[in-house]
């Protein structure tokens, strides 16, 4: 019985360690927080009741006893007669363990008669339990109520939104004034500060306020800081915060800028002891965006020259590729590409413009991972404060404007709002999201909504709300299921109509993947669960040139191409996550292509019977959706998108995928030339959606 309990103790200990490792280093599955204490208690009980099974061979010590007896003879002589009696005593002796056996005992929890090794196993398992407790409960005890921070959100050509949190001691409100000036770098100390808006910070709003700084010039650097109403400089920020306004989109001079796209982050995962505020992915992002001066200076002159030559050759190659797609007779032997985006892998280009902003595509917090602390407002606000209290995040948000959408983990896993804003936990969850992230976004299209659009130069963005109006896919008819709701859907169609010929590249931001190639849980949580609405949207996207969908959620990277017919435009999706969270090793849930196909015509040169060459049209079937590139590995992922429309005949988006701080993949998207105009009427672009618009009371005939 004792030996059986010792083996059970070893098995429970080993299983316990495996589950702890998976929970802290692989994926913080919520159910594990219940399994781990049970396994630990089982290990303690069996260890206490069981006697360790002896794995060593015992040494047997034998003792021999000799007895001498005297015997008298009759003649008076004494003769000694020796009688020998052997007695064997068995004494168990445990040999000291070797280094190899001791390590095996510690690593694999092998039963051992050595008390010190048993105590070492107990100590290790207890420390693992404490690590789990720190990871689970640190977000609750680290309330970050005193965090002070500021950041820039939406940047317009003539304005910017600034968030500030400045709690006051023993008060219910705190008034701080933003002061600002232009930051041209020349005699900066002599440039006077100008008074800006006053932030009315209250305890009711968790000391957070977003203010609008207006009256700025396009494409101009500025800096700001804070004072009290007595014009006394406040200690934070210690140095002025700088930002750069957006270019004027009415000036069609071309754009050249970069932005970051990613989603999904939580502090201290994978877990490290006593690092509860660290978000390693943001540390890596900060190093990527602003490398140290020593690293910059390390580049030798030959390296710089080689980089410039490489950039020039890449530019020439792009133009040559675009020219090669001509339909002229001189290029008849080349395959005819549809009027669409062309994508191909390229080498990384080191000549890049500054990064202007970041689009964070949801799961900014994990309200229910590793534990759900309830749906009250403070439970959600605490997690936002924790992120803004992270020194890793501070290195980024104090220098880079960030705009946000939200996804399910800002609320609860796989949340579907059903259009009911009073359904818990939505009110308290979105209250925190609004205070900390949403108010700093661009102004919503419709008041009180979280979907919005914005421009940066001649690139246009539409950011979806994929949770508030999402239907319950397990009820009603599938044809009635919606992710966006009628009003948001109409706003998206209207935006497509306006940007069709007024912007070169159009970026549609979805917190969940648009493709249906992901399986498993994605079949219920992504656009795959809304096939009818997705099909209508895809048709709309393919009627507009240069549409790129940006998404996150899956904790993997994938580039997906949606093929169009002869009269449409291909659509590309770049799905990137996590910024700093888990990925699942070994298990892959992305199919390489869809079973659904589209017909596309290409021209082919054939020889006739008389030996002449003739161009014939060939109809081929291609997958409607196919994977261009898929990378699942990596806890820290983001995409850098470089938009370059300075040459309107050859607009391009260069995509660089960074994984764990290192370049992993580069993609170049060659756009269609767009003759920019002032506006495009929605009705002429997509008359097939008239029924949807009429349903919500909008009359397309009035928009011409």
Mark whether 223 and 305 lie in a shared domain. Answer: no
Q: Is residue 105 very low, low, confident or very high in pLDDT (cuts 50, 70, 90)?
A: confident
Q: What is the CATH classification number for the domain harbouring 172? A: 2.60.40.10
CA distance 306 to 170: 61
**Above pLDDT 70, what percent of the chain?**
81
Q: Which of 115-119, 156-160, 296-300 has the lowest mean pLDDT?
A: 296-300
Q: Average model confidence (pLDDT) for the chain?
A: 85
Tell me whether residue 73 is in a domain.
no
Tell me whether residue 317 is in a domain.
yes
Q: What angle do CA 472, 478, 481 make, to 5 degrees?
A: 50
Are the C-beta atoms of 48 and 6 separated by less than 8 Å? no
| Cβ-Cβ contacts under 8 Å for 52 (sequence gap 6 or more) | 6, 111, 112, 113, 118
| Cβ-Cβ contacts under 8 Å for 226 (sequence gap 6 or more) | 150, 164, 166, 176, 177, 178, 179, 233, 234, 236, 237
Predicted confidence (pLDDT) per residue in 435-457, tens digit: 999 999 999 999 999 999 999 99
Mark whether 353 and 484 lie in a shared domain. Answer: yes
Mean pLDDT (whole number) for 565-571: 92
Tell me whether residue 68 is in a domain.
no
Q: Name which residue leads in pLDDT, 676 or 227.
A: 227
Mark whether 423 and 565 lie in a shared domain. Answer: yes
Q: Is residue 251 very low, low, confident or very high in pLDDT (cuts 50, 70, 90)?
A: confident
SS3 326: coil
Q: Which of 309-323, 488-502, 588-602 has the lowest mean pLDDT?
A: 309-323
Q: Tell me: pLDDT of 297 over 60.
A: no
Half-sphere exposure in the Cβ direction for 661 (13 Å, CA): 12
Q: Which tokens go with 624? A: 């409607």
| Cβ-Cβ contacts under 8 Å for 313 (sequence gap 6 or more) | none
Q: Is residue 313 very low, low, confident or very high in pLDDT (cuts 50, 70, 90)?
A: very low
Mark whether 537 and 482 lie in a shared domain. Answer: yes
Q: Tell me: pLDDT of 356 over 90.
A: yes
Mark whether 603 and 664 lie in a shared domain. Answer: yes
CA distance 416 to 418: 6
CA distance 333 to 340: 19
Q: What is the CATH classification number for the domain harbouring 603? A: 3.60.21.10
Q: What is the pLDDT of residue 633?
A: 96
Q: Tell me: pLDDT of 683 over 50.
A: no
Tell me whether residue 59 is in a domain.
no
- Answer positive or negative: Cα dihedral of 254, 544, 668, 257: positive
Range of the domain at 164: 158-245
Q: Is residue 328 very low, low, confident or very high in pLDDT (cuts 50, 70, 90)?
A: very low
Mark whether 306 and 169 lie in a shared domain. Answer: no
Question: Which of the listed residues 141, 171, 202 is the one where a domain comes to its end?
Answer: 141
Q: Is residue 343 very low, low, confident or very high in pLDDT (cuts 50, 70, 90)?
A: low
Tell me whether residue 665 is in a domain.
yes
Q: Hey, how many other C-beta atoms are within 10 angstroms of the C-beta on 319? A: 15
Q: Name which residue leads in pLDDT, 150 or 295.
A: 150
Q: Is residue 90 very low, low, confident or very high in pLDDT (cuts 50, 70, 90)?
A: low
Mark whether 315 and 358 lie in a shared domain. Answer: yes
| Cβ-Cβ contacts under 8 Å for 329 (sequence gap 6 or more) | none
Radius of gyration, alpha carbons of the chain: 34
Question: Which of the listed residues 245, 275, 301 is the one where a domain comes to its end?
Answer: 245
CA distance 469 to 196: 37
Query: Count of domains in the chain?
Result: 3
CA distance 686 to 690: 8
Q: Is residue 116 very low, low, confident or very high in pLDDT (cuts 50, 70, 90)?
A: confident
Q: Is residue 696 very low, low, confident or very high in pLDDT (cuts 50, 70, 90)?
A: very low
Taken as a whole, the chain contains a residue count of: 704
Mean pLDDT (whole number) for 11-23: 95
Ramachandran region of residue 121, left (φ > 0), alpha (ψ -120 to 50) or beta? alpha
Mean pLDDT (whole number) for 275-294: 90
Note the helical H segments in 500-645.
522-525, 531-541
Mean pLDDT (whole number) for 468-494: 93
Q: What is the pLDDT of residue 88?
A: 54
Mark whether 105 and 241 lie in a shared domain. Answer: no
Mark whether 120 and 200 lie in a shared domain. Answer: no
Question: Which of the listed residues 141, 176, 196 is the one where a domain comes to its end?
Answer: 141
Distances (CA, A) of 635 to 228, 362, 638, 681: 42, 16, 10, 44
Sheet with 547-551: strands ordered across: 452-456, 459-463, 505-510, 547-551, 571-575, 557-562, 625-631
Tell me whether residue 549 is in a domain.
yes
Mark whether 208 and 307 lie in a shared domain. Answer: no
Q: Which residues pair with 241 in a beta bridge?
A: 224
Q: Is residue 320 very low, low, confident or very high in pLDDT (cuts 50, 70, 90)?
A: very low
Q: Which of 300-314, 322-336, 386-400, 629-643 has the lowest mean pLDDT?
A: 322-336
Q: Tell me: pLDDT of 112 over 90.
A: no
Distances (CA, A) of 536 to 63, 527, 540: 94, 12, 6
Mark whether 135 and 180 lie in a shared domain. Answer: no
Q: Which of 90-94, 528-532, 694-698 has the lowest mean pLDDT?
A: 694-698
Q: Is residue 661 very low, low, confident or very high in pLDDT (cuts 50, 70, 90)?
A: very high
Mark whether 171 and 213 lie in a shared domain. Answer: yes
Q: What is the pLDDT of residue 334?
A: 29
Q: Hey, how many other C-beta atoms are within 10 angstroms of the C-beta on 63? A: 10
Tell me whether residue 61 is in a domain.
no
Tell me whether residue 430 is in a domain.
yes
Q: Name which residue leads in pLDDT, 684 or 166.
A: 166
Q: Name which residue leads in pLDDT, 644 or 609.
A: 644
Predicted confidence (pLDDT) per residue in 32-57, tens digit: 989 999 999 999 998 888 655 444 44
């Amino acid at each position: 019985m004792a030996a059986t309990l010792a083996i059970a103790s070893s098995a429970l200990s080993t299983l316990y360690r495996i589950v702890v490792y998976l929970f802290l280093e692989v994926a913080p599955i919520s159910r594990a927080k219940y399994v781990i204490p049970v396994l630990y208690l089982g290990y303690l009980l069996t260890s206490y009741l069981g006697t360790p099974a002896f794995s060593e061979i015992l040494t047997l010590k034998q003792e021999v006893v000799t007895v001498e007896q005297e015997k008298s003879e009759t003649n008076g002589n004494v003769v000694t007669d020796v009688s020998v009696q052997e007695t064997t005593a068995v004494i168990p002796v445990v040999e000291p363990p070797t280094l190899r056996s001791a390590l095996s005992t510690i690593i694999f929890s092998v039963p051992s008669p050595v008390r010190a090794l048993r105590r070492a196993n107990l100590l290790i398992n207890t420390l693992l339990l404490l690590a789990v407790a720190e990871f689970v409960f640190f977000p609750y005890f680290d309330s970050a109520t005193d965090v002070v921070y500021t950041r820039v959100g939406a940047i317009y050509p003539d304005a910017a939104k600034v968030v500030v949190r400045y709690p006051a001691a023993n008060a219910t409100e705190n008034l701080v004034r933003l002061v600002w000036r232009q930051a041209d770098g020349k005699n900066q100390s002599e440039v006077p500060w100008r008074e800006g808006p006053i932030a009315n910070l209250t305890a009711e709003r968790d000391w957070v306020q977003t203010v609008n700084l207006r009256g700025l010039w396009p494409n101009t650097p500025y800096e700001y800081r804070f004072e009290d109403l007595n014009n006394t400089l406040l200690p934070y920020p210690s140095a002025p915060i700088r930002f750069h306004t957006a270019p004027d989109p009415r000036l069609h001079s071309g754009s050249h800028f970069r932005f970051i796209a990613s989603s999904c982050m939580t502090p201290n995962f994978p877990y490290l002891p006593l690092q509860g505020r660290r978000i390693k992915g943001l540390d890596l992002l900060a190093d990527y965006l602003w490398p140290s001066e020593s690293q910059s200076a390390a580049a030798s002159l030959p390296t710089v020259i080689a980089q410039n030559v490489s950039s020039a050759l890449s530019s020439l190659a792009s133009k040559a590729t675009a020219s090669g797609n001509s339909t002229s007779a001189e290029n008849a032997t080349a395959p005819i590409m549809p009027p669409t985006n062309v994508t191909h892998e390229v080498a990384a280009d080191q000549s890049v413009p500054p990064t202007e902003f970041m689009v964070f595509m949801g799961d900014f917090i994990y309200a229910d991972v590793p534990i759900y602390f309830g749906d009250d407002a403070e439970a959600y606000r605490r997690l936002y404060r924790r992120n803004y209290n992270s020194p890793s995040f501070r290195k980024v948000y104090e220098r880079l404007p960030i705009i946000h959408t939200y996804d399910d983990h800002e609320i609860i896993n796989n949340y579907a709002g059903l259009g009911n804003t009073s359904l818990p936990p939505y009110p308290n969850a979105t209250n925190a999201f609004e205070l900390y992230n949403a108010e700093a976004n661009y102004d919503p299209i419709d008041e009180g909504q979280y979907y919005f659009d914005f421009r940066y130069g001649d690139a246009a963005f539409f950011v979806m709300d994929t949770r508030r109006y999402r239907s319950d896919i397990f009820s009603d008819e599938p044809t009635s299921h919606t992710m966006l709701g009628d009003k948001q859907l109409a706003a998206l169609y209207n935006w497509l109509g306006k940007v069709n010929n007024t912007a070169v590249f159009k970026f549609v931001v979805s917190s969940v993947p648009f493709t249906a190639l992901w399986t498993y849980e994605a079949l219920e949580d992504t656009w795959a669960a809304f096939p009818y609405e997705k099909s209508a949207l895809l048709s709309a996207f393919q009627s507009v040139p240069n549409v790129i969908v940006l998404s996150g959620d899956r904790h993997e990277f994938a580039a997906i191409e949606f093929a169009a017919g002869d009269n449409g435009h291909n659509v590309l999706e770049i799905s990137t996550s996590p910024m700093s969270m888990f990925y699942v090793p070994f298990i892959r849930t992305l199919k390489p292509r869809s079973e659904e196909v589209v017909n596309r015509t290409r021209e082919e040169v054939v020889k006739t019977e008389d030996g002449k060459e003739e161009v014939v049209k060939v109809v081929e079937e291609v997958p409607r959706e196919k994977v261009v590139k898929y990378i699942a590995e990596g806890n820290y992922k983001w995409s850098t998108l470089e938009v370059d429309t300075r040459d309107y005949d050859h607009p391009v988006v260069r995509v660089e995928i960074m994984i764990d701080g290192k370049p992993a993949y580069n993609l170049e998207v060659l756009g269609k030339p767009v003759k920019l105009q002032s506006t495009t009427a929605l009705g002429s672009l997509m008359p097939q959606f008239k029924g949807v618009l009429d349903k919500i009371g909008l009359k397309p005939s009035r928009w011409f």
